[in-house]
Chain A
Amino acid sequence: MSDSSVPATSGPEGLTTADGVPLKQSLNRAVRRSRLKALLLVAPLLIFIGLAFVMPIFDMLSRSVDNPEVSTYLPRTSESLTHWDGEGLPDEAAYAALAQDLEAGLKARNLGRVASRLNYEMSGMRSLFTKSARKAGRMEPPFKEALIKADKDWQDPDIWRLIKRESGLYTASYYLAAIDRQFSPTGEIVEKPEYLQIHVVLFIRTFWMSAVITGLALLLAYPVAWLLATLPAGRGNLLMILVLLPFWTSLLVRTTTWIAILQQQGVLNDMLVGVGLIAEEARIQMIYNKTGTIIAMTHILLPFMILPLYSVMKTIPPSYMHAARSLGAGPVTAFRRVYFPQTLPGIGAGSILVFILSIGYYITPALVGGQSGRFITNFIAYHMQTSLNWGLAAAIGSILLVVVILFYLVYNRLIGVDKVKLG
């Protein structure tokens, strides 16, 4: 907030307005009024975005550490475990509390939630809970023996340590799961068994494929942007339509057309078979795999690379290159030493933009990616819709969000968010 734009009152202090108010005071009042007016204009939108967008995002972030299940649905057990030191087995009181909680939970039909919550941490917990709960109503003291008789897993101290650990209101275990780690029974952070390690691979694949897509887009965009920037305005505008039309065309339309072109019975394979380049049986699988994702997404994101490059190249006077050439530089040297360095801001802007957009893409990888071309976003959707592990979905989403925000800050630093050009 700087007032540098407000002219300083340099005159003598005694100056007043017509109604006798000191000039400085009157000016300050006017500034305050203008500031309030500006804020009032922005306020409705700011409140709207706050309610409809920022709060949901924070709500999601909180879900990634939220852990209400154990303390809510096993209240007595988690209470009595607070005194337990984690050595050996807990005392009879804890077993009694558990038996009560199980019985109450069965009646209230909310045992499933805590059971599936604990099942995320240790498989088999769900069946242990349902099995024991059915018998809990008929149990008699001593509850320790009764529960162990119901299922001998209750004499496993690891299970008790797990319940104690997850009694807290907050947990780090969703984040650990998001990076393929977990708590060991003794509470240390260890890697998950290899066959369960999926998220890190997907994160790496997402970043790697986004980098490839960004690189390809840059490679394809550079010559086209150069052509557009150097052509006379009339023809340049005509060719610009070829860039803007895909930019404005529905994402689903473009993904659909790539399916029509690339699938095994598709246009491209038909053409290759038709001209005899490949045999009828040897049709190439170009979609529902990594190749499909890369081709379709490069196509979809290419305009986002061309437009910033074009707007930078447009500002480079052609006389610089002429000067370099007339001073004796060869075409390659002139390009490398004079033209290329001036396009670096455009390359930076386009690349960061395409990379940010790419790592967050969901629709295209889901439709044409098959197994090998999936992104981490597809796993967020999977945990949201199929496995219903919302905490894990929120944790993966939060990690992705942090990465995007970091790149966005770099972008903002380099280019400025209000300089984003649209069309």
Chain B
Amino acid sequence: MAIPSYATRGERIWHWVFCTLCALIFLFLIGPILVIIPLSFNAEPYFTFSDKMLSLDPEGFSLRWYQDFFTSDEWMRAIKNSIIIAVCATVLATVLGTLAALGLSSRFMPFRNTIMAILISPMIVPLIISAAAMFFFFSKLGLTQTYLGVILAHTALGIPFVVITVTATLSGFDHSLTRAAHSLGASPSRTFFRIILPLVTPGVVSGALFAFITSFDEVVVVLFIAGPAQTTIPIKMWSGIREEISPTILAVATLLVLVSIMLLATLEMIRRRNERLRGLTPS
């Protein structure tokens, strides 16, 4: 992207215009997320910067919204629910999805494309339709307003991510490794745990992270099939935004931004480890 020395004046101007443009777009992308962090320390119950904050007066800042969050029974219950549901859904989705991805990557798999399309469908169908459909069906089975119902629904929503990431990892998988293991006398289960699993772990872990965040951040389906007992963080935020806009939501939002930064860092670590394993220099 550096300007070559022979660039004309017009090209130089264009280069700077282009860079400014990109900077503005990056600002658009990241700005909103950065704005919310200082706002969550507002001492006043508003969604905007007070004069005291702008003049960096320490009195303008406070931790009251965080205190609000951590001392509220309702929010704590919501966080507990979110974690229980997301962890259960992630475990289910990861186990089922990884097994299926192993089968799908076999060259003997019949109807591969059709099965793949069915397994990916929860990602494609608009959430409101999935939510309505699951509501009708689950209420017949008595699964609405139960943890099991929400967990099963979130498992279905998380599965495409596991299937996609694990199949992607397996597509670069060298099958002669398993043949070598077999011919050296390893049992199928030993081959799986000692050869296949370590190599696909990065795909499994990032699929699991996707499934986790999908469940942790999901509103629409919970809105339809959960009862008051299964209230999750996103549901609390949703009703908070719609009814009484309290800056406690901004504190929660900031904490959630921290969660996503941690997830992003974990994924990046996995990517680097994976590249090292494949004998590339991590970039």
Q: B130 to A53, Cβ gap below 8 A?
A: yes
A contact patch SS: helix
Chain B 101-114, CB-CB to A under 8 Å as 1, else 0, gives: 01110111111000
A260 touches which of B36, B97, B121 (Cβ 8 Å):
B36
A5, A42, A270, A362: residue with the most chain B Cβ atoms closer than 10 Å: A42
Chain B 204-246, CB-CB to A under 8 Å as 1, else 0, gives: 0010001001001101100010000000001001100110010
Q: What residues on A are CB-neighbors of B135 within 8 Å?
A: 384
B249 touches which of A256, A265, A377 (Cβ 8 Å):
A256
Which residues from chain B sit less than 8 Å from chain A, CB to CB?
Answer: 1, 11, 14, 18, 21-22, 25-26, 28-30, 32-33, 35-36, 39, 46-49, 96-97, 99-100, 102-104, 106-111, 115-122, 124-130, 132-138, 140, 152-153, 155-156, 159, 161, 163-165, 167-168, 206, 210, 213, 216-217, 219-220, 224, 234, 237-238, 241-242, 245, 249-250, 253, 256-257, 259-261, 263-264, 267, 283
Which residues from chain A sit less than 8 Å from chain B, CB to CB?
Answer: 1, 5, 31, 34-35, 37-42, 44-46, 48-50, 52-57, 59-60, 63, 220, 223-224, 227, 230-231, 233-234, 237, 239, 241-246, 248-261, 263, 265-267, 270, 299, 302-303, 331, 356, 359-363, 367, 377, 380-381, 384, 390, 393-394, 397, 400-401, 404-405, 408, 412, 417-418, 420, 422-423
A60 touches which of B26, B133, B165, B249 (Cβ 8 Å):
B133
| Given A49-B118, A253-B256, CB of A39 within 8 Å of CB of B124 | no
A377 and chain B: residue at smallest CB distance: B128
B260 touches which of A35, A230, A245 (Cβ 8 Å):
A245
A223 touches which of B25, B116, B283 (Cβ 8 Å):
B25
Q: B118 to A299, Cβ gap below 8 A?
A: no
Distance to closest chain B CB from A54 (angstroms): 7
Q: What residues on A are CB-neighbors of B283 within 8 Å?
A: 233-234, 237
Q: B267 to A423, Cβ gap below 8 A?
A: yes
A34, A55, A239, A360: residue with the most chain B Cβ atoms closer than 10 Å: A360
Question: In whole angstroms, how far apart are the Cα atoms of A284 and B210 in the complex?
Answer: 38
- Given contacts A53-B121, A60-B136, A245-B264, 15 further A-B pairs with CB under 8 A are A45-B96, A48-B159, A52-B134, A57-B125, A59-B140, A246-B29, A250-B260, A261-B32, A267-B35, A360-B125, A360-B126, A362-B128, A362-B220, A367-B242, A380-B128
Q: What residues on B are CB-neighbors of A261 within 8 Å?
A: 32, 35
Question: In whole angstroms, how far apart are the Cα atoms of A54 and B241 in the complex?
Answer: 32
Question: In whole angstroms, how far apart are the Cα atoms of A156 and B86 in the complex?
Answer: 57
Q: What residues on B are CB-neighbors of A53 within 8 Å?
A: 121-122, 130, 133-134, 156
Q: What residues on A are CB-neighbors of B164 within 8 Å?
A: 418, 420, 422
Q: B129 to A60, Cβ gap below 8 A?
A: yes
B26, B46, B260: residue with the most chain A Cβ atoms closer than 10 Å: B260
